[in-house]
Amino acid sequence: MSGRHSLSFVELFRATPTKSSLLTLAPLALALGQLGNSYVNGVSPVVSIGFAVVMLVFSTVAMSHHAAEHRIRRLEADYGPDRL
């Protein structure tokens, strides 16, 4: 058995679709909405691009944390004290 198994996004979305969607699609929608809002209202794009970058970084970090949390839960279910 491999010591390190990479969890794919498809597996993560199948296991927890609501949380995965909120952590990926919501920040993306907010970033796109802010970019569109700044374009429509004539606001400087520097602020909107900064916000979009922060939202994408947040989404990446949150999904990494969510994947780690899911791996821990799966390991505890497979090898926890109840299984020994």
pTM equals 0.78
DSSP 5: -
Q: What tens digit of pLDDT does each residue of 14-35 get?
A: 989 999 999 999 999 999 999 9
Decide if pLDDT at 66 tops 50. yes
DSSP 8: P
% of the chain with per-residue pLDDT over 70: 89
* SS3 annotation, 35-79: HHHHHHHCCCHHHHHHHHHHHHHHHHHHHHHHHHHHHHHHHHHHH
Q: Give the number of other CB atoms < 10 A from CB of residue 65.
A: 11
Distance CA 54, CA 58 (A): 6
